[in-house]
Amino acid sequence: MIGNVLHLFVDVHGGHLSSSKLAIVCCLTLCLYMNKINTNLVSAFVERWHLETSSFHMSFGEMSITLDDVACLLHLPIRGIFWSPQDVTEEVAVELAVDYLGVSQGQAQSHVRSCRGSYYKLEWLYDLFVHHRAASSWAYATRAYLLMLVGSTIFADKTFTLVEARYLLLFTDLDECSGYSWGAAALVTLYRYLGDASMYSCKQLGGYPTLLQCWIHEYFPTVGKRGENWKPADNCGLPQAMRWSYRQGVLKVDDLRPILDELTPADVIWRPFEDHRAWRVFDEICLYRGCLK
């Protein structure tokens, strides 16, 4: 899949592809590598999330996922344009699909109607990607792939089968894609869904749970089962999240609660990315304190 995407983007830009655009596409594509989540481990942390403070409340204090964590784990840019597309109506979702995904008015109306809202199905976007790629309609193919990509990772909703149509606005001008702060957008989206999931009535976590799971692996080496693809000092510049691989855990949420309760500061790796600074230098913007939305 990665090879197909790189070939696609080179064709779209006539063989002249900037390193920044290529890096973002690669990083977002690499985000797909871990497609299994230890739901019990993630749930045990989610129930410690407090909406008011946007942090996990541990027995020894509060901790949260930061912009630096996102930069090191996913290699997404944390500087750039911070733009959150506004909600769109079903009528606008149809118009966007016609203008930027290359489908007919009838096809777009039928599809949006089947989604029962301003959404597109990920499976439908993949079919469009394959169709437009075969027809050498590279701009349409690129938008379909990128929308499917973010809808499967950093902007995933609770269904994990749909993506909000408003995110297509991010790809109307393909030359602008590399200018966005994708890392900040990923973090804000996860924060929002963590706030929802921390409520007793909510049973599903949206956003990108892989980011949360890999964050847990980095900071809490004794909690949860995981596979390790390399030691920190052996990384060759890949996103740090790729260090981890899925292993089936046997502990239930009830088992994990007392384990988390007994953690002390000595059980936390407070600076897990020191061996990764050759590829991601700490950015002072990560010291920002305030509202992200």
Backbone φ, ψ for residue 58 (5° rounding): -95, 170
Least confident range from 102-111, 117-126, 230-239, 244-253: namely 230-239
Look at residue 162 and tell me if it is in a domain: yes
pLDDT value at 208 more than 50? yes
Look at residue 271 and tell me if it is in a domain: no
Q: Which of 25, 147, 148 is nearest to 75 (CA)?
A: 25
Look at residue 3 and tell me if it is in a domain: yes
> Residue 244 burial by CB count (10 A; 0-12/13-18/19+): exposed, middle or buried?
buried
Look at residue 219 and tell me if it is in a domain: no
Look at residue 58 and tell me if it is in a domain: no
Least confident range from 145-159, 259-273, 278-292: namely 278-292
Give the tokens for residue 124.
Answer: 């439908």
pLDDT value at 190 more than 80? yes
CA neighbours closer than 13 Å in the CB half-sphere of residue 10: 8
Domain of residue 20: give its range.
Answer: 1-30+84-179
pLDDT value at 28 more than 80? no
Look at residue 171 and tell me if it is in a domain: yes
Q: How many separate domains does the chain show?
A: 1
Look at residue 15 and tell me if it is in a domain: yes
pLDDT (tens digit, 9 = 90+) per residue, 38-72? 999 999 999 999 999 999 999 999 999 999 999 99
Sorted by sequence, the CB contacts under 8 Å of residue 98 that are 6+ apart come out as: 104, 105, 108
Look at residue 76 and tell me if it is in a domain: no
What proportion of the chain, given as a percentage, has pLDDT over 70? Answer: 87
pLDDT (tens digit, 9 = 90+) per residue, 78-130? 999 887 778 999 999 999 999 999 999 999 999 999 999 999 999 999 999 99
State the Cα–Cα distance between residues 283 and 265, nearest whole angstrom: 25
Give the tokens for residue 132.
Answer: 């437009």
Average pLDDT over residues 256-279: 95
